[in-house]
Structure 1
Protein backbone atom coordinates (compact mmCIF):
# COMPACT_ATOMS: atom_id res chain seq x y z
CA UNK A 1 0.00 0.00 0.00
CA UNK A 2 1.17 3.50 -0.75
CA UNK A 3 -0.16 6.92 0.26
CA UNK A 4 0.10 9.34 -2.64
CA UNK A 5 -0.01 13.02 -1.67
CA UNK A 6 -2.07 15.29 -3.92
CA UNK A 7 -0.31 16.68 -6.97
CA UNK A 8 -0.67 20.40 -7.72
CA UNK A 9 -3.66 21.47 -9.79
CA UNK A 10 -2.63 22.89 -13.16
CA UNK A 11 -4.39 24.86 -15.86
CA UNK A 12 -5.29 22.61 -18.82
CA UNK A 13 -3.47 23.29 -22.12
CA UNK A 14 -5.27 25.82 -24.36
CA UNK A 15 -4.56 23.70 -27.46
CA UNK A 16 -6.85 20.93 -26.12
CA UNK A 17 -9.55 22.88 -24.25
CA UNK A 18 -11.86 25.87 -24.71
CA UNK A 19 -12.39 28.06 -21.64
CA UNK A 20 -10.91 27.67 -18.19
CA UNK A 21 -10.19 24.05 -17.24
CA UNK A 22 -8.07 22.78 -14.36
CA UNK A 23 -6.50 19.33 -13.95
CA UNK A 24 -5.73 17.69 -10.63
CA UNK A 25 -3.68 14.52 -11.32
CA UNK A 26 -4.58 11.65 -9.00
CA UNK A 27 -2.74 8.59 -10.26
CA UNK A 28 -0.48 7.40 -13.06
CA UNK A 29 -0.10 3.65 -12.90
CA UNK A 30 3.26 1.99 -13.12
CA UNK A 31 3.53 -1.15 -15.26
CA UNK A 32 1.82 -3.50 -15.39
CA UNK A 33 -0.95 -0.99 -14.51
CA UNK A 34 -2.05 1.34 -17.31
CA UNK A 35 -4.50 3.43 -15.28
CA UNK A 36 -4.39 7.22 -15.30
CA UNK A 37 -6.86 9.15 -13.14
CA UNK A 38 -7.46 12.88 -12.79
CA UNK A 39 -10.04 15.23 -11.35
CA UNK A 40 -10.99 17.78 -14.03
CA UNK A 41 -12.67 21.09 -13.16
CA UNK A 42 -14.53 22.99 -15.91
CA UNK A 43 -15.79 26.56 -15.53
CA UNK A 44 -19.18 27.38 -17.14
CA UNK A 45 -18.96 26.93 -20.92
CA UNK A 46 -15.53 25.26 -20.80
CA UNK A 47 -14.98 22.02 -22.71
CA UNK A 48 -12.47 19.66 -24.26
CA UNK A 49 -11.65 19.52 -27.95
CA UNK A 50 -12.95 16.55 -29.91
CA UNK A 51 -10.84 13.53 -28.98
CA UNK A 52 -10.80 9.75 -28.59
CA UNK A 53 -9.04 7.21 -26.41
CA UNK A 54 -7.45 3.98 -27.69
CA UNK A 55 -8.80 1.98 -24.73
CA UNK A 56 -11.88 4.09 -23.94
CA UNK A 57 -12.57 6.53 -21.13
CA UNK A 58 -14.79 6.56 -18.05
CA UNK A 59 -16.05 9.87 -16.65
CA UNK A 60 -17.72 10.17 -13.23
CA UNK A 61 -19.36 13.53 -12.43
CA UNK A 62 -18.62 14.70 -8.88
CA UNK A 63 -20.25 18.15 -8.95
CA UNK A 64 -22.08 20.59 -11.20
CA UNK A 65 -23.66 19.80 -14.55
CA UNK A 66 -22.04 18.94 -17.85
CA UNK A 67 -22.36 17.34 -21.26
CA UNK A 68 -20.70 14.42 -23.02
CA UNK A 69 -21.21 14.49 -26.81
CA UNK A 70 -20.23 11.94 -29.47
CA UNK A 71 -19.66 12.56 -33.20
CA UNK A 72 -22.93 10.78 -34.00
CA UNK A 73 -24.79 13.55 -32.16
CA UNK A 74 -25.60 11.66 -28.97
CA UNK A 75 -25.66 14.05 -26.01
CA UNK A 76 -25.65 12.91 -22.39
CA UNK A 77 -26.35 15.40 -19.61
CA UNK A 78 -24.06 14.77 -16.60
CA UNK A 79 -25.12 15.36 -13.00
CA UNK A 80 -23.33 14.46 -9.75
CA UNK A 81 -23.14 10.68 -9.42
CA UNK A 82 -23.53 10.00 -13.17
CA UNK A 83 -20.93 7.87 -14.95
CA UNK A 84 -20.40 7.75 -18.72
CA UNK A 85 -18.11 5.38 -20.60
CA UNK A 86 -16.89 6.15 -24.12
CA UNK A 87 -15.65 3.04 -25.94
CA UNK A 88 -12.23 2.75 -27.59
CA UNK A 89 -11.86 5.06 -30.59
CA UNK A 90 -15.16 6.94 -30.14
CA UNK A 91 -14.64 10.64 -30.89
CA UNK A 92 -16.32 12.82 -28.27
CA UNK A 93 -16.03 15.94 -26.15
CA UNK A 94 -17.14 16.82 -22.61
CA UNK A 95 -17.44 19.91 -20.49
CA UNK A 96 -19.57 22.13 -18.29
CA UNK A 97 -22.97 23.48 -19.24
CA UNK A 98 -23.32 27.19 -20.01
CA UNK A 99 -24.47 28.10 -16.51
CA UNK A 100 -22.67 25.70 -14.16
CA UNK A 101 -19.22 24.58 -13.22
CA UNK A 102 -18.64 20.83 -13.55
CA UNK A 103 -16.07 18.50 -12.09
CA UNK A 104 -15.51 14.90 -13.13
CA UNK A 105 -13.16 12.08 -12.39
CA UNK A 106 -11.52 10.99 -15.66
CA UNK A 107 -10.19 7.43 -15.94
CA UNK A 108 -8.22 6.20 -18.94
CA UNK A 109 -5.69 3.49 -19.68
CA UNK A 110 -2.48 4.10 -21.60
CA UNK A 111 -1.86 1.95 -24.66
CA UNK A 112 1.93 1.84 -25.05
CA UNK A 113 2.17 5.32 -23.53
CA UNK A 114 -0.69 6.73 -25.63
CA UNK A 115 -3.97 7.72 -23.94
CA UNK A 116 -5.71 10.16 -26.31
CA UNK A 117 -5.85 11.42 -29.87
CA UNK A 118 -6.79 15.11 -29.94
CA UNK A 119 -8.73 16.82 -32.73
CA UNK A 120 -10.23 20.25 -33.44
CA UNK A 121 -11.97 22.49 -30.91
CA UNK A 122 -15.74 22.26 -30.50
CA UNK A 123 -17.29 25.30 -32.20
CA UNK A 124 -19.58 27.63 -30.27
CA UNK A 125 -22.57 26.72 -32.54
CA UNK A 126 -21.93 22.97 -31.96
CA UNK A 127 -21.65 23.58 -28.22
CA UNK A 128 -24.93 25.53 -28.20
CA UNK A 129 -26.68 22.84 -30.28
CA UNK A 130 -25.65 20.16 -27.78
CA UNK A 131 -27.58 22.01 -25.06
CA UNK A 132 -30.80 21.61 -27.04
CA UNK A 133 -30.28 17.86 -27.58
CA UNK A 134 -29.47 16.58 -24.10
CA UNK A 135 -30.40 12.98 -23.44
CA UNK A 136 -31.62 12.81 -19.88
CA UNK A 137 -29.75 10.18 -17.89
CA UNK A 138 -32.30 9.84 -15.08
Structure 2
Protein backbone atom coordinates (compact mmCIF):
# COMPACT_ATOMS: atom_id res chain seq x y z
CA UNK A 1 0.00 0.00 0.00
CA UNK A 2 2.81 2.40 0.93
CA UNK A 3 4.56 1.58 -2.39
CA UNK A 4 1.35 2.36 -4.34
CA UNK A 5 0.91 5.69 -2.50
CA UNK A 6 4.53 6.69 -3.20
CA UNK A 7 4.15 5.70 -6.86
CA UNK A 8 0.95 7.73 -7.22
CA UNK A 9 2.55 10.73 -5.51
CA UNK A 10 5.61 10.47 -7.77
CA UNK A 11 3.37 10.30 -10.86
CA UNK A 12 1.40 13.36 -9.70
CA UNK A 13 4.59 15.35 -9.07
CA UNK A 14 5.96 14.32 -12.47
CA UNK A 15 2.71 15.38 -14.15
CA UNK A 16 2.73 18.77 -12.42
CA UNK A 17 6.39 19.31 -13.28
CA UNK A 18 5.85 18.38 -16.94
CA UNK A 19 2.98 20.87 -17.19
CA UNK A 20 5.43 23.63 -16.26
CA UNK A 21 2.54 25.21 -14.40
CA UNK A 22 3.29 28.79 -13.44
CA UNK A 23 0.94 31.42 -12.11
CA UNK A 24 -0.54 33.71 -14.76
CA UNK A 25 -0.61 37.45 -14.15
CA UNK A 26 -4.06 38.40 -15.46
CA UNK A 27 -3.04 42.08 -15.51
CA UNK A 28 -0.02 41.44 -17.74
CA UNK A 29 -0.11 42.86 -21.26
CA UNK A 30 1.91 39.94 -22.59
CA UNK A 31 0.16 38.15 -25.42
CA UNK A 32 -0.50 34.43 -25.47
CA UNK A 33 1.03 33.54 -28.82
CA UNK A 34 2.34 30.42 -30.41
CA UNK A 35 4.91 30.36 -33.18
CA UNK A 36 3.80 28.58 -36.33
CA UNK A 37 6.80 29.37 -38.57
CA UNK A 38 10.28 30.58 -37.66
CA UNK A 39 10.74 34.35 -37.40
CA UNK A 40 13.52 34.34 -39.98
CA UNK A 41 16.24 36.86 -40.64
CA UNK A 42 16.07 40.56 -39.90
CA UNK A 43 15.36 42.59 -43.04
CA UNK A 44 18.19 44.85 -44.12
CA UNK A 45 16.83 46.47 -47.29
CA UNK A 46 15.13 49.87 -47.61
CA UNK A 47 11.69 48.48 -48.61
CA UNK A 48 10.49 48.47 -44.98
CA UNK A 49 10.42 50.91 -42.08
CA UNK A 50 11.12 49.54 -38.61
CA UNK A 51 12.17 46.06 -37.57
CA UNK A 52 10.95 43.32 -39.90
CA UNK A 53 11.96 39.65 -40.08
CA UNK A 54 11.42 37.44 -43.13
CA UNK A 55 11.50 33.66 -43.39
CA UNK A 56 11.16 32.15 -46.85
CA UNK A 57 8.94 29.07 -46.68
CA UNK A 58 8.70 28.29 -50.42
CA UNK A 59 11.11 29.64 -53.04
CA UNK A 60 10.09 30.08 -56.67
CA UNK A 61 11.65 27.67 -59.12
CA UNK A 62 11.18 26.32 -62.65
CA UNK A 63 8.14 24.28 -61.56
CA UNK A 64 6.39 26.80 -59.29
CA UNK A 65 6.30 30.57 -59.70
CA UNK A 66 4.75 31.15 -56.28
CA UNK A 67 6.78 32.26 -53.28
CA UNK A 68 5.56 31.89 -49.69
CA UNK A 69 7.11 33.75 -46.80
CA UNK A 70 6.50 34.40 -43.13
CA UNK A 71 6.89 38.10 -42.32
CA UNK A 72 7.03 39.43 -38.75
CA UNK A 73 6.63 43.17 -38.18
CA UNK A 74 7.61 44.77 -34.86
CA UNK A 75 5.11 47.34 -33.55
CA UNK A 76 5.07 50.32 -35.93
CA UNK A 77 6.98 48.53 -38.71
CA UNK A 78 5.60 48.45 -42.23
CA UNK A 79 6.37 47.93 -45.88
CA UNK A 80 6.77 50.68 -48.43
CA UNK A 81 4.05 51.10 -51.01
CA UNK A 82 4.49 48.35 -53.58
CA UNK A 83 2.85 46.50 -56.46
CA UNK A 84 2.66 42.78 -57.21
CA UNK A 85 2.22 42.27 -60.98
CA UNK A 86 0.38 38.96 -60.35
CA UNK A 87 -1.26 39.91 -57.02
CA UNK A 88 -0.63 38.61 -53.52
CA UNK A 89 -2.50 36.83 -50.72
CA UNK A 90 -1.86 37.66 -47.05
CA UNK A 91 -2.80 35.27 -44.25
CA UNK A 92 -2.77 36.97 -40.85
CA UNK A 93 -1.16 34.63 -38.33
CA UNK A 94 -0.88 36.83 -35.25
CA UNK A 95 -1.10 40.35 -33.86
CA UNK A 96 -2.78 43.47 -35.19
CA UNK A 97 -1.79 45.02 -38.49
CA UNK A 98 -2.83 47.37 -41.25
CA UNK A 99 -3.42 46.98 -44.98
CA UNK A 100 -4.14 49.84 -47.36
CA UNK A 101 -4.67 50.05 -51.09
CA UNK A 102 -3.90 53.31 -52.90
CA UNK A 103 -6.97 55.57 -52.83
CA UNK A 104 -8.78 53.56 -50.12
CA UNK A 105 -9.00 53.65 -46.34
CA UNK A 106 -6.66 51.60 -44.17
CA UNK A 107 -8.03 48.22 -43.01
CA UNK A 108 -7.26 46.79 -39.56
CA UNK A 109 -6.11 43.16 -39.70
CA UNK A 110 -6.32 40.54 -36.95
CA UNK A 111 -5.38 36.88 -36.58
CA UNK A 112 -7.38 34.78 -39.06
CA UNK A 113 -7.97 37.57 -41.60
CA UNK A 114 -7.16 36.98 -45.26
CA UNK A 115 -6.38 39.72 -47.77
CA UNK A 116 -6.33 39.24 -51.54
CA UNK A 117 -4.21 42.03 -53.03
CA UNK A 118 -5.20 42.67 -56.66
CA UNK A 119 -2.51 42.59 -59.31
CA UNK A 120 -0.83 45.87 -60.22
CA UNK A 121 -2.46 47.80 -57.36
CA UNK A 122 -0.22 49.85 -55.06
CA UNK A 123 -0.64 48.89 -51.40
CA UNK A 124 1.25 48.56 -48.11
CA UNK A 125 0.92 46.47 -44.96
CA UNK A 126 2.47 46.34 -41.52
CA UNK A 127 1.99 46.33 -37.75
CA UNK A 128 -0.14 48.63 -35.63
CA UNK A 129 1.79 51.11 -33.46
CA UNK A 130 1.64 49.02 -30.28
CA UNK A 131 1.31 45.40 -31.43
CA UNK A 132 3.54 43.12 -33.49
CA UNK A 133 2.03 41.60 -36.62
CA UNK A 134 2.77 38.29 -38.36
CA UNK A 135 1.62 37.39 -41.86
CA UNK A 136 2.20 34.67 -44.41
CA UNK A 137 2.59 36.28 -47.83
CA UNK A 138 1.81 34.21 -50.93
CA UNK A 139 3.15 35.94 -54.02
CA UNK A 140 3.19 34.77 -57.62
CA UNK A 141 6.17 35.89 -59.69
CA UNK A 142 4.33 34.93 -62.88
CA UNK A 143 4.14 38.49 -64.25
CA UNK A 144 7.38 39.72 -62.73
CA UNK A 145 8.89 40.66 -59.37
CA UNK A 146 7.46 43.03 -56.77
CA UNK A 147 7.76 46.68 -57.75
CA UNK A 148 8.79 48.75 -54.72
CA UNK A 149 7.60 52.35 -54.46
CA UNK A 150 7.94 55.20 -51.95
CA UNK A 151 7.84 54.88 -48.17
CA UNK A 152 4.52 55.18 -46.35
CA UNK A 153 4.39 58.64 -44.76
CA UNK A 154 3.63 59.10 -41.06
CA UNK A 155 0.34 60.77 -42.05
CA UNK A 156 -0.66 57.81 -44.24
CA UNK A 157 0.28 55.39 -41.48
CA UNK A 158 -1.68 57.26 -38.78
CA UNK A 159 -4.81 58.11 -40.85
TM-score, normalised with respect to structure 2:
0.73
Return the alpha-carbon distance in structure 1 between the equivalents of residues 83 and 53 of structure 2: 19
Q: Secondary structure at the match of 2:86?
A: coil
Return the alpha-carbon distance in structure 1 between the equivalents of residues 100 and 126 of structure 2: 9
Higher relative contact order (CA 8 A, sep 6+): 1
Give the C-alpha shift of residue 126 in structure 1: 1.1
Unaligned runs of 5+ residues in structure 1 are 1-5, 130-138
Q: Residue 11 in 1 paired to residue 11 in 2? A: no
- Range 22-31 or range 36-45, more displaced: 22-31
Work out the number of aligned pairs and report it: 123
Higher-Rg member (1/2): 2
Name the structure where helix makes up a greater proportion of residues: 2
Give the C-alpha shift of residue 69 in structure 1: 0.5
TM-score, normalised with respect to structure 1:
0.83
Return the alpha-carbon distance in structure 2 between the equivalents of residues 106 and 21 of structure 1: 14
Structure 1 residues 12 and 55: CA distance shift in structure 2, 3 A? same
Name the structure where strand makes up a greater proportion of residues: 1
- Cα contact 2:39–2:71 (8 A) shared by 1: no
- Cα contact 1:108–1:115 (8 A) shared by 2: no
Return the alpha-carbon distance in structure 2 between the equivalents of residues 30 and 11 of structure 1: 24
Q: Residue 118 in 1 paired to residue 148 in 2? A: yes
Unaligned runs of 5+ residues in structure 2 are 1-36
Q: Residue 34 in 1 paired to residue 65 in 2? A: yes
